[in-house]
Structure 1
Amino acid sequence: MGVPKKRTSKMRRDRRRAANNNLRTAVQVIQCSNCKEPILPHRACSACGHYKGRETVPAQA
């Protein structure tokens, strides 16, 4: 079994963990094909209720 010889310091551990925070990408936003409102991809529009060109859920008032 591989066992570490020395204890990993808090600074080294935290620096390694923080390196992954910079890899995250921004959330993609697209426009609804019906009402042009910004929505998340692969989700029904909350403004008009359309998804892939047809109404799937009733629009919220």
Structure 2
Amino acid sequence: MAQPKRKSCHSRAAKRATHKKASMPAMSKCPRCGAVKLPHAICPSCGYYNDKEILKIEE
């Protein structure tokens, strides 16, 4: 099996690892009810997506 000829430096390893960090997902506001939701997803509070009722939410 092949072995690396030189030790990889810390900055090179950190550049690879920078994409693996955990972060908050992007959030958007529902245009219908104003609740915070994930973009391109059904609103959990009103059940609408793209001005169409997808889920029946009982209040």
- Shorter-normalised TM range: 0.5 to 0.7
Q: For each residue in 1:2-52, what CA deviation from the matched residue of structure 2 results, as whole angstroms up to 9, or x when unmatched?
A: 53135x58xx4xx82584158766421111111010000011000010000
CA RMSD after TM alignment = 3.6
TM-score normalised per structure 1 = 0.60
Q: Quick one: structure 1 residues 42 and 48, their matched pair in 2 at CA, closer, same or farther if it must change by over 3 Å?
A: same
Query: Whose helix proportion is higher, 1 or 2?
Result: 1
TM-score normalised per structure 2 = 0.62
| Count of aligned pairs | 57
Q: Quick one: structure 1 residues 60 and 42, their matched pair in 2 at CA, closer, same or farther if it must change by over 3 Å?
A: farther
Q: Percent identity?
A: 29
- Give unpaired runs (5+ residues) of structure 2: none
